[in-house]
Structure 1
Amino acid sequence: MPLPIRLVLLRPRNAENLGAAARAMKNCGLSEWTWVHPEAEDLAPARRLAVHAEDVLEAAGRADSLEAAVADCVWVVGTSSRKVEGKRRLSPRAVAEELVQRASQGPVALVFGDERSGLTNAEVERCHDLSAVPTAPEQPSINLAQAVLLYSYELRIASLASEPHPPPPLPVAATDSELSLVESALEQALVSGGFLVDEHQGRTGLRDLFAPLRRSRLTRKEAKLWLAALHTLAKRLRSGGLGR
Protein backbone atom coordinates (compact mmCIF):
# COMPACT_ATOMS: atom_id res chain seq x y z
CA MET A 1 0.00 0.00 0.00
CA PRO A 2 1.40 3.45 -0.93
CA LEU A 3 2.40 5.64 1.97
CA PRO A 4 0.17 8.71 2.57
CA ILE A 5 2.80 11.17 1.36
CA ARG A 6 1.41 14.16 -0.51
CA LEU A 7 3.30 16.62 -2.67
CA VAL A 8 1.71 20.07 -2.71
CA LEU A 9 2.55 22.45 -5.57
CA LEU A 10 1.64 26.09 -4.98
CA ARG A 11 0.75 28.18 -8.04
CA PRO A 12 2.63 26.06 -10.60
CA ARG A 13 3.14 28.19 -13.71
CA ASN A 14 4.68 25.83 -16.23
CA ALA A 15 2.74 22.93 -17.75
CA GLU A 16 5.94 21.17 -18.79
CA ASN A 17 7.03 21.15 -15.15
CA LEU A 18 3.77 19.46 -14.18
CA GLY A 19 4.22 16.76 -16.79
CA ALA A 20 7.83 16.11 -15.83
CA ALA A 21 6.90 16.10 -12.14
CA ALA A 22 4.15 13.54 -12.75
CA ARG A 23 6.61 11.26 -14.52
CA ALA A 24 9.17 11.66 -11.72
CA MET A 25 6.56 10.81 -9.12
CA LYS A 26 5.48 7.66 -10.93
CA ASN A 27 9.11 6.64 -11.39
CA CYS A 28 9.43 6.69 -7.61
CA GLY A 29 6.09 5.11 -6.67
CA LEU A 30 4.31 8.33 -5.65
CA SER A 31 0.86 9.28 -6.85
CA GLU A 32 -0.73 11.72 -4.40
CA TRP A 33 -0.32 15.41 -5.11
CA THR A 34 -2.33 18.60 -4.92
CA TRP A 35 -2.11 21.79 -6.96
CA VAL A 36 -3.03 25.07 -5.29
CA HIS A 37 -4.16 27.74 -7.79
CA PRO A 38 -2.29 26.33 -10.79
CA GLU A 39 -1.54 29.01 -13.35
CA ALA A 40 -0.83 26.51 -16.13
CA GLU A 41 -4.18 26.25 -17.93
CA ASP A 42 -3.28 24.31 -21.08
CA LEU A 43 -2.10 20.84 -19.96
CA ALA A 44 -1.26 19.58 -23.45
CA PRO A 45 2.48 20.24 -22.92
CA ALA A 46 2.23 18.47 -19.56
CA ARG A 47 0.71 15.39 -21.18
CA ARG A 48 3.55 15.24 -23.70
CA LEU A 49 6.10 15.06 -20.88
CA ALA A 50 4.12 12.81 -18.53
CA VAL A 51 5.25 9.69 -20.39
CA HIS A 52 3.40 6.67 -18.93
CA ALA A 53 2.34 8.90 -16.03
CA GLU A 54 -0.78 10.42 -17.52
CA ASP A 55 -2.82 8.81 -14.74
CA VAL A 56 -0.79 10.64 -12.08
CA LEU A 57 -1.16 13.92 -13.96
CA GLU A 58 -4.93 13.58 -14.31
CA ALA A 59 -5.37 12.48 -10.68
CA ALA A 60 -3.83 15.64 -9.20
CA GLY A 61 -6.02 17.12 -6.48
CA ARG A 62 -6.98 20.78 -6.48
CA ALA A 63 -7.19 23.13 -3.49
CA ASP A 64 -7.87 26.81 -2.99
CA SER A 65 -5.19 27.29 -0.35
CA LEU A 66 -2.25 25.66 1.37
CA GLU A 67 -4.41 25.34 4.48
CA ALA A 68 -6.99 23.31 2.58
CA ALA A 69 -4.31 21.16 0.91
CA VAL A 70 -2.72 20.09 4.19
CA ALA A 71 -5.67 20.23 6.59
CA ASP A 72 -5.52 16.49 7.34
CA CYS A 73 -1.72 16.25 7.51
CA VAL A 74 0.20 15.46 10.70
CA TRP A 75 3.47 16.95 9.41
CA VAL A 76 4.06 19.58 6.73
CA VAL A 77 7.49 20.45 5.34
CA GLY A 78 8.14 23.37 3.03
CA THR A 79 10.96 23.40 0.50
CA SER A 80 12.78 26.66 1.17
CA SER A 81 16.34 27.74 1.83
CA ARG A 82 15.24 30.32 4.39
CA LYS A 83 16.36 30.15 8.00
CA VAL A 84 13.40 30.57 10.32
CA GLU A 85 13.72 30.46 14.08
CA GLY A 86 12.01 27.43 15.56
CA LYS A 87 11.94 25.46 12.31
CA ARG A 88 14.44 22.79 11.44
CA ARG A 89 16.20 22.86 8.08
CA LEU A 90 16.45 19.27 6.88
CA SER A 91 18.32 17.82 3.94
CA PRO A 92 16.26 16.03 1.27
CA ARG A 93 17.47 12.67 2.61
CA ALA A 94 16.66 13.49 6.21
CA VAL A 95 13.24 14.87 5.40
CA ALA A 96 12.41 11.85 3.24
CA GLU A 97 13.32 9.46 6.04
CA GLU A 98 11.19 11.38 8.52
CA LEU A 99 8.27 11.71 6.09
CA VAL A 100 8.23 7.93 5.66
CA GLN A 101 8.42 7.43 9.41
CA ARG A 102 5.69 9.96 10.24
CA ALA A 103 3.41 8.67 7.47
CA SER A 104 2.54 5.77 9.77
CA GLN A 105 0.69 8.31 11.94
CA GLY A 106 -1.29 9.91 9.12
CA PRO A 107 -0.91 11.93 5.92
CA VAL A 108 2.21 14.06 5.57
CA ALA A 109 2.97 16.75 3.02
CA LEU A 110 5.96 18.20 1.19
CA VAL A 111 5.25 21.69 -0.15
CA PHE A 112 6.83 23.33 -3.21
CA GLY A 113 6.47 27.03 -4.02
CA ASP A 114 5.96 28.48 -7.47
CA GLU A 115 8.76 28.62 -10.01
CA ARG A 116 9.31 32.37 -9.70
CA SER A 117 9.26 33.27 -6.02
CA GLY A 118 8.83 30.06 -4.02
CA LEU A 119 6.92 30.08 -0.76
CA THR A 120 5.52 33.26 0.76
CA ASN A 121 6.31 34.21 4.35
CA ALA A 122 2.84 33.09 5.43
CA GLU A 123 3.28 29.72 3.72
CA VAL A 124 6.65 29.20 5.37
CA GLU A 125 5.06 29.90 8.74
CA ARG A 126 2.34 27.33 7.98
CA CYS A 127 4.95 24.57 7.62
CA HIS A 128 6.27 22.67 10.62
CA ASP A 129 9.81 22.44 9.23
CA LEU A 130 11.78 23.34 6.12
CA SER A 131 14.02 21.49 3.70
CA ALA A 132 16.46 22.68 1.08
CA VAL A 133 18.81 21.12 -1.43
CA PRO A 134 22.45 21.99 -0.61
CA THR A 135 23.19 23.43 -4.05
CA ALA A 136 26.35 25.26 -5.06
CA PRO A 137 26.17 29.02 -4.40
CA GLU A 138 26.97 29.73 -8.08
CA GLN A 139 23.56 28.28 -9.06
CA PRO A 140 21.32 27.89 -6.00
CA SER A 141 17.92 27.62 -7.67
CA ILE A 142 16.46 24.35 -8.94
CA ASN A 143 13.78 23.83 -11.54
CA LEU A 144 10.47 22.73 -9.99
CA ALA A 145 10.33 19.40 -11.84
CA GLN A 146 13.95 18.69 -10.90
CA ALA A 147 13.17 19.39 -7.26
CA VAL A 148 10.19 17.04 -7.37
CA LEU A 149 12.37 14.34 -8.92
CA LEU A 150 15.11 14.78 -6.31
CA TYR A 151 12.74 14.58 -3.35
CA SER A 152 10.73 11.76 -4.94
CA TYR A 153 13.92 9.75 -5.35
CA GLU A 154 14.89 10.26 -1.72
CA LEU A 155 11.38 9.23 -0.68
CA ARG A 156 11.71 6.10 -2.78
CA ILE A 157 15.02 5.17 -1.15
CA ALA A 158 13.66 5.86 2.34
CA SER A 159 10.52 3.85 1.63
CA LEU A 160 12.48 0.85 0.37
CA ALA A 161 14.80 1.00 3.38
CA SER A 162 11.81 0.94 5.74
CA GLU A 163 10.33 -2.23 4.26
CA PRO A 164 11.06 -5.47 6.12
CA HIS A 165 13.43 -7.68 4.19
CA PRO A 166 12.63 -11.40 4.14
CA PRO A 167 15.51 -13.55 5.33
CA PRO A 168 17.45 -15.30 2.58
CA PRO A 169 16.45 -18.92 1.97
CA LEU A 170 18.36 -21.43 4.06
CA PRO A 171 20.66 -23.81 2.19
CA VAL A 172 19.47 -27.40 1.97
CA ALA A 173 20.79 -29.15 5.04
CA ALA A 174 22.33 -32.60 4.98
CA THR A 175 20.08 -35.33 6.32
CA ASP A 176 21.05 -37.52 9.24
CA SER A 177 21.74 -40.43 6.91
CA GLU A 178 24.02 -38.26 4.77
CA LEU A 179 25.91 -37.19 7.88
CA SER A 180 26.26 -40.84 8.85
CA LEU A 181 27.85 -41.55 5.46
CA VAL A 182 30.36 -38.76 6.08
CA GLU A 183 31.09 -40.14 9.54
CA SER A 184 31.68 -43.63 8.12
CA ALA A 185 33.98 -42.22 5.43
CA LEU A 186 35.92 -40.31 8.09
CA GLU A 187 36.30 -43.50 10.09
CA GLN A 188 37.62 -45.40 7.06
CA ALA A 189 40.16 -42.67 6.35
CA LEU A 190 41.33 -42.58 9.97
CA VAL A 191 41.64 -46.35 10.14
CA SER A 192 43.55 -46.48 6.86
CA GLY A 193 45.86 -43.76 8.07
CA GLY A 194 46.55 -45.57 11.34
CA PHE A 195 44.99 -42.93 13.54
CA LEU A 196 42.29 -45.23 14.92
CA VAL A 197 43.82 -48.44 16.30
CA ASP A 198 42.23 -49.26 19.67
CA GLU A 199 38.54 -50.01 19.18
CA HIS A 200 37.30 -48.20 22.30
CA GLN A 201 39.55 -45.21 21.86
CA GLY A 202 38.70 -45.27 18.17
CA ARG A 203 34.98 -44.88 18.84
CA THR A 204 35.61 -42.05 21.29
CA GLY A 205 38.10 -40.33 18.97
CA LEU A 206 35.80 -40.64 15.98
CA ARG A 207 32.90 -39.20 17.95
CA ASP A 208 34.97 -36.25 19.16
CA LEU A 209 36.41 -35.56 15.72
CA PHE A 210 33.04 -35.68 13.99
CA ALA A 211 31.16 -33.65 16.61
CA PRO A 212 32.24 -30.25 15.19
CA LEU A 213 31.02 -31.28 11.74
CA ARG A 214 27.66 -32.30 13.15
CA ARG A 215 27.38 -29.07 15.14
CA SER A 216 28.17 -27.01 12.04
CA ARG A 217 24.96 -28.28 10.39
CA LEU A 218 26.57 -29.23 7.11
CA THR A 219 24.62 -28.49 3.98
CA ARG A 220 23.92 -31.27 1.53
CA LYS A 221 26.51 -29.81 -0.84
CA GLU A 222 29.14 -29.65 1.92
CA ALA A 223 28.38 -33.22 3.01
CA LYS A 224 28.88 -34.48 -0.55
CA LEU A 225 32.19 -32.62 -0.77
CA TRP A 226 33.41 -34.09 2.53
CA LEU A 227 32.31 -37.54 1.40
CA ALA A 228 34.19 -37.29 -1.90
CA ALA A 229 37.33 -35.97 -0.20
CA LEU A 230 37.35 -38.66 2.50
CA HIS A 231 36.72 -41.49 0.05
CA THR A 232 39.62 -40.28 -2.11
CA LEU A 233 41.87 -39.95 0.93
CA ALA A 234 40.99 -43.42 2.23
CA LYS A 235 41.58 -44.96 -1.18
CA ARG A 236 45.01 -43.37 -1.45
CA LEU A 237 45.92 -44.49 2.09
CA ARG A 238 44.91 -48.09 1.41
CA SER A 239 46.94 -48.19 -1.77
CA GLY A 240 49.94 -46.60 -0.08
CA GLY A 241 49.80 -43.69 -2.44
CA LEU A 242 50.61 -41.03 0.16
CA GLY A 243 54.25 -40.65 1.07
CA ARG A 244 55.78 -38.86 4.00
Structure 2
Amino acid sequence: MVLPVRFVLMRPRNAENLGAAARALKNCGLSDWAWVTPEVEDLGPAHRLAVHAEDVLGGVKRPDTLDAAVSDCVWVVGTSSRKVEGKRRLSPRAVGEELVARAKQGPVALVFGDERSGLTNAEVERCHDLSAVPTAPEQPSINLAQAVLLYAYEVRMAHLADSAPPPGPLPLAATDAELARVEATLEALLGAGGFLVDEKPGRTAVRDLVAPLRRSRLTRNEARLWLAALHTVRKHFPGRDDP
Protein backbone atom coordinates (compact mmCIF):
# COMPACT_ATOMS: atom_id res chain seq x y z
CA MET A 1 0.00 0.00 0.00
CA VAL A 2 1.54 3.29 -1.08
CA LEU A 3 -0.36 6.14 0.54
CA PRO A 4 0.96 9.66 1.21
CA VAL A 5 -0.15 9.46 4.85
CA ARG A 6 2.51 10.77 7.24
CA PHE A 7 2.67 10.05 10.97
CA VAL A 8 4.42 12.90 12.79
CA LEU A 9 5.68 12.32 16.34
CA MET A 10 6.47 15.44 18.33
CA ARG A 11 9.34 15.19 20.85
CA PRO A 12 9.16 11.41 21.34
CA ARG A 13 10.89 10.41 24.59
CA ASN A 14 10.83 6.62 24.65
CA ALA A 15 12.93 4.43 22.35
CA GLU A 16 10.69 1.41 22.91
CA ASN A 17 7.71 3.40 21.67
CA LEU A 18 9.59 4.32 18.51
CA GLY A 19 10.44 0.70 17.77
CA ALA A 20 6.90 -0.46 18.46
CA ALA A 21 5.50 2.38 16.34
CA ALA A 22 7.76 1.41 13.43
CA ARG A 23 6.48 -2.15 13.63
CA ALA A 24 2.88 -0.93 13.81
CA LEU A 25 3.31 1.16 10.67
CA LYS A 26 4.90 -1.77 8.84
CA ASN A 27 2.02 -4.01 9.95
CA CYS A 28 -0.38 -1.63 8.25
CA GLY A 29 1.64 -1.08 5.09
CA LEU A 30 2.73 2.45 6.00
CA SER A 31 6.23 3.91 6.12
CA ASP A 32 6.04 7.71 5.90
CA TRP A 33 6.74 9.15 9.33
CA ALA A 34 8.75 11.86 11.04
CA TRP A 35 10.20 12.64 14.47
CA VAL A 36 10.34 16.31 15.39
CA THR A 37 13.10 17.05 17.94
CA PRO A 38 13.18 13.55 19.46
CA GLU A 39 14.47 13.32 23.02
CA VAL A 40 15.95 9.86 22.56
CA GLU A 41 19.69 9.22 22.33
CA ASP A 42 19.98 5.43 22.51
CA LEU A 43 17.94 3.76 19.76
CA GLY A 44 19.03 0.26 20.73
CA PRO A 45 15.67 -0.56 22.38
CA ALA A 46 13.88 0.79 19.32
CA HIS A 47 15.76 -1.58 17.02
CA ARG A 48 14.94 -4.51 19.30
CA LEU A 49 11.21 -3.77 19.11
CA ALA A 50 11.08 -2.90 15.41
CA VAL A 51 10.80 -6.55 14.43
CA HIS A 52 10.90 -6.84 10.62
CA ALA A 53 10.46 -3.05 10.47
CA GLU A 54 14.08 -1.91 10.52
CA ASP A 55 13.57 -0.28 7.12
CA VAL A 56 10.74 1.85 8.49
CA LEU A 57 12.76 2.77 11.57
CA GLY A 58 15.77 3.69 9.46
CA GLY A 59 13.73 5.67 6.94
CA VAL A 60 12.22 8.13 9.42
CA LYS A 61 12.47 11.84 8.60
CA ARG A 62 13.79 14.27 11.23
CA PRO A 63 12.56 17.78 10.50
CA ASP A 64 13.29 20.52 13.03
CA THR A 65 9.74 21.85 13.32
CA LEU A 66 6.14 20.81 12.87
CA ASP A 67 5.83 23.35 10.07
CA ALA A 68 8.67 21.65 8.20
CA ALA A 69 7.17 18.21 8.81
CA VAL A 70 3.80 19.07 7.28
CA SER A 71 4.66 21.86 4.82
CA ASP A 72 3.63 19.77 1.80
CA CYS A 73 0.46 18.34 3.38
CA VAL A 74 -3.06 19.22 2.27
CA TRP A 75 -4.66 18.16 5.57
CA VAL A 76 -3.17 17.93 9.07
CA VAL A 77 -4.92 16.23 12.00
CA GLY A 78 -3.70 16.49 15.57
CA THR A 79 -4.38 13.84 18.19
CA SER A 80 -5.76 15.70 21.18
CA SER A 81 -8.82 15.47 23.41
CA ARG A 82 -9.06 19.24 23.65
CA LYS A 83 -12.06 21.06 22.22
CA VAL A 84 -11.05 23.97 20.02
CA GLU A 85 -13.56 26.23 18.34
CA GLY A 86 -13.48 25.90 14.58
CA LYS A 87 -11.80 22.50 14.59
CA ARG A 88 -13.66 19.23 14.22
CA ARG A 89 -13.09 16.43 16.72
CA LEU A 90 -13.12 13.25 14.68
CA SER A 91 -13.11 9.62 15.72
CA PRO A 92 -10.11 7.49 14.67
CA ARG A 93 -12.32 5.72 12.13
CA ALA A 94 -13.51 8.98 10.60
CA VAL A 95 -9.91 10.20 10.48
CA GLY A 96 -8.77 7.04 8.69
CA GLU A 97 -11.50 7.38 6.09
CA GLU A 98 -10.85 11.07 5.48
CA LEU A 99 -7.08 10.64 5.38
CA VAL A 100 -7.46 8.06 2.62
CA ALA A 101 -9.92 10.25 0.72
CA ARG A 102 -7.80 13.41 0.99
CA ALA A 103 -4.58 11.54 0.19
CA LYS A 104 -5.79 11.42 -3.40
CA GLN A 105 -5.21 15.19 -3.51
CA GLY A 106 -1.80 15.22 -1.84
CA PRO A 107 0.11 14.22 1.31
CA VAL A 108 -1.79 14.24 4.59
CA ALA A 109 -0.48 14.09 8.14
CA LEU A 110 -1.47 12.81 11.56
CA VAL A 111 0.37 14.49 14.45
CA PHE A 112 1.02 12.92 17.87
CA GLY A 113 2.24 14.76 20.96
CA ASP A 114 4.95 13.55 23.31
CA GLU A 115 4.30 10.85 25.89
CA ARG A 116 4.26 13.25 28.83
CA SER A 117 2.15 16.25 27.85
CA GLY A 118 0.85 15.70 24.32
CA LEU A 119 0.62 18.51 21.80
CA THR A 120 1.22 22.10 22.82
CA ASN A 121 -1.45 24.75 22.33
CA ALA A 122 0.48 26.15 19.38
CA GLU A 123 0.70 22.71 17.76
CA VAL A 124 -3.02 22.14 18.23
CA GLU A 125 -3.71 25.48 16.55
CA ARG A 126 -1.43 24.49 13.66
CA CYS A 127 -3.58 21.42 12.90
CA HIS A 128 -6.65 21.69 10.70
CA ASP A 129 -8.74 19.25 12.74
CA LEU A 130 -8.39 17.11 15.86
CA SER A 131 -9.02 13.51 16.82
CA ALA A 132 -9.12 11.56 20.06
CA VAL A 133 -9.62 7.94 21.03
CA PRO A 134 -12.84 7.57 23.09
CA THR A 135 -11.15 5.82 26.01
CA ALA A 136 -12.74 5.05 29.36
CA PRO A 137 -12.60 7.96 31.83
CA GLU A 138 -10.85 5.74 34.38
CA GLN A 139 -7.81 5.55 32.06
CA PRO A 140 -8.08 8.27 29.40
CA SER A 141 -4.51 8.22 28.06
CA ILE A 142 -2.98 5.51 25.90
CA ASN A 143 0.59 4.64 25.02
CA LEU A 144 2.09 6.45 22.02
CA ALA A 145 2.87 3.25 20.11
CA GLN A 146 -0.64 1.97 20.79
CA ALA A 147 -2.10 5.19 19.42
CA VAL A 148 0.04 4.89 16.29
CA LEU A 149 -1.14 1.32 15.76
CA LEU A 150 -4.78 2.24 16.30
CA TYR A 151 -4.75 5.06 13.75
CA ALA A 152 -2.59 3.10 11.30
CA TYR A 153 -5.11 0.27 11.45
CA GLU A 154 -7.97 2.64 10.67
CA VAL A 155 -6.04 4.03 7.71
CA ARG A 156 -5.41 0.54 6.40
CA MET A 157 -9.03 -0.54 6.78
CA ALA A 158 -10.22 2.61 5.01
CA HIS A 159 -7.72 2.03 2.21
CA LEU A 160 -8.78 -1.59 1.77
CA ALA A 161 -12.43 -0.55 1.61
CA ASP A 162 -11.62 2.21 -0.86
CA SER A 163 -9.63 -0.08 -3.16
CA ALA A 164 -11.99 -3.07 -3.05
CA PRO A 165 -13.35 -4.08 -6.47
CA PRO A 166 -16.96 -3.06 -7.08
CA PRO A 167 -19.48 -5.77 -6.22
CA GLY A 168 -20.88 -7.82 -9.05
CA PRO A 169 -24.52 -7.63 -10.10
CA LEU A 170 -26.98 -8.83 -7.50
CA PRO A 171 -29.04 -11.93 -8.32
CA LEU A 172 -32.68 -11.37 -9.21
CA ALA A 173 -34.84 -11.18 -6.10
CA ALA A 174 -37.96 -13.29 -5.74
CA THR A 175 -41.13 -11.39 -6.55
CA ASP A 176 -44.02 -11.07 -4.15
CA ALA A 177 -46.05 -13.41 -6.38
CA GLU A 178 -43.34 -16.09 -6.18
CA LEU A 179 -43.18 -15.79 -2.40
CA ALA A 180 -46.98 -16.03 -2.28
CA ARG A 181 -46.79 -19.30 -4.24
CA VAL A 182 -44.25 -20.64 -1.75
CA GLU A 183 -46.60 -19.70 1.08
CA ALA A 184 -49.64 -21.27 -0.59
CA THR A 185 -47.75 -24.47 -1.41
CA LEU A 186 -46.44 -24.72 2.16
CA GLU A 187 -49.96 -24.20 3.52
CA ALA A 188 -51.33 -26.97 1.29
CA LEU A 189 -48.54 -29.33 2.32
CA LEU A 190 -49.01 -28.65 6.03
CA GLY A 191 -52.75 -29.10 5.68
CA ALA A 192 -52.30 -32.41 3.87
CA GLY A 193 -49.90 -33.58 6.55
CA GLY A 194 -52.32 -32.79 9.35
CA PHE A 195 -50.36 -29.92 10.83
CA LEU A 196 -53.15 -27.41 10.19
CA VAL A 197 -56.42 -28.25 11.88
CA ASP A 198 -58.24 -24.95 12.19
CA GLU A 199 -58.05 -22.85 9.04
CA LYS A 200 -57.82 -19.48 10.77
CA PRO A 201 -55.04 -20.39 13.21
CA GLY A 202 -53.42 -22.26 10.33
CA ARG A 203 -53.09 -19.12 8.28
CA THR A 204 -51.33 -17.44 11.21
CA ALA A 205 -48.97 -20.40 11.60
CA VAL A 206 -48.15 -20.45 7.89
CA ARG A 207 -47.41 -16.74 7.85
CA ASP A 208 -45.15 -17.12 10.87
CA LEU A 209 -43.28 -19.93 9.13
CA VAL A 210 -42.92 -17.96 5.90
CA ALA A 211 -41.93 -14.70 7.62
CA PRO A 212 -38.22 -15.68 7.96
CA LEU A 213 -38.15 -16.49 4.24
CA ARG A 214 -39.50 -13.06 3.41
CA ARG A 215 -37.03 -11.37 5.75
CA SER A 216 -34.13 -13.26 4.18
CA ARG A 217 -34.93 -11.72 0.78
CA LEU A 218 -34.90 -14.92 -1.24
CA THR A 219 -33.54 -14.79 -4.75
CA ARG A 220 -35.70 -15.97 -7.62
CA ASN A 221 -33.72 -19.20 -7.90
CA GLU A 222 -34.04 -19.84 -4.16
CA ALA A 223 -37.82 -19.34 -4.30
CA ARG A 224 -38.07 -21.77 -7.21
CA LEU A 225 -35.99 -24.30 -5.28
CA TRP A 226 -38.35 -23.99 -2.30
CA LEU A 227 -41.32 -24.58 -4.61
CA ALA A 228 -39.69 -27.61 -6.22
CA ALA A 229 -38.87 -29.11 -2.82
CA LEU A 230 -42.38 -28.52 -1.47
CA HIS A 231 -44.00 -29.99 -4.59
CA THR A 232 -41.77 -33.07 -4.32
CA VAL A 233 -42.84 -33.67 -0.72
CA ARG A 234 -46.45 -32.92 -1.70
CA LYS A 235 -46.46 -35.96 -4.01
CA HIS A 236 -46.42 -38.21 -0.94
CA PHE A 237 -49.97 -37.09 -0.13
CA PRO A 238 -52.05 -38.47 -3.04
CA GLY A 239 -55.62 -37.43 -3.57
CA ARG A 240 -55.08 -33.80 -2.56
CA ASP A 241 -54.88 -31.06 -5.15
CA ASP A 242 -51.90 -28.74 -5.30
CA PRO A 243 -52.61 -25.03 -4.89
The aligned residue for residue 149 of structure 2 is 149
Aligned pairs (5 A) from 1:108-127: 108-127=108-127
The aligned residue for residue 202 of structure 1 is none
Equivalent-residue separation in structure 2 for 1:54 and 1:164 (angstroms): 29
Unaligned residue ranges in structure 1 (runs of 5+):
170-217, 219-242
The aligned residue for residue 76 of structure 2 is 76
The aligned residue for residue 52 of structure 1 is 52
The aligned residue for residue 205 of structure 1 is none
1:100 partnered with 2:100: yes
Q: Alpha-carbon deviation of 1:44? A: 0.6
3-state SS in 2 of match to 1:124: helix
The aligned residue for residue 22 of structure 1 is 22
The aligned residue for residue 158 of structure 1 is 158
Q: Alpha-carbon deviation of 1:144? A: 0.2
Equivalent-residue separation in structure 1 for 2:168 and 2:26 (angstroms): 29
How many percent identity over aligned positions? 80
How many residue pairs get aligned? The number is 182
Q: Alpha-carbon deviation of 1:168? A: 6.3
Larger Rg computed on CA atoms: 1
Unaligned residue ranges in structure 2 (runs of 5+):
170-220, 222-237
Equivalent-residue separation in structure 1 for 2:151 and 2:115 (angstroms): 16
Equivalent-residue separation in structure 2 for 1:82 and 1:93 (angstroms): 18
Question: Displaced runs of 4+ in structure 1, greater than 6 A?
Answer: none
3-state SS in 1 of match to 2:62: strand
The aligned residue for residue 5 of structure 2 is 5
Equivalent-residue separation in structure 1 for 2:165 and 2:136 (angstroms): 37
Equivalent-residue separation in structure 2 for 1:141 and 1:78 (angstroms): 15
Equivalent-residue separation in structure 2 for 1:164 and 1:119 (angstroms): 35
Instruction: Give per-residue Cα distances to partners, 1:7-45, cap 9 Å, x unaligned.
Output: 000000000000000000000111000100011111110
Equivalent-residue separation in structure 2 for 1:21 and 1:134 (angstroms): 20
Root mean square deviation of aligned Cα = 2.5
| TM-score, normalised by the number of residues in structure 2 | 0.69
Q: Alpha-carbon deviation of 1:165? A: 1.1
Equivalent-residue separation in structure 2 for 1:115 and 1:150 (angstroms): 16
Instruction: Give per-residue Cα distances to partners, 1:148-206, cap 9 Å, x unaligned.
Output: 0110111110010000316569xxxxxxxxxxxxxxxxxxxxxxxxxxxxxxxxxxxxx
Equivalent-residue separation in structure 1 for 2:67 and 2:166 (angstroms): 41
Aligned pairs (5 A) from 1:222-241: none
Equivalent-residue separation in structure 2 for 1:91 and 1:61 (angstroms): 27
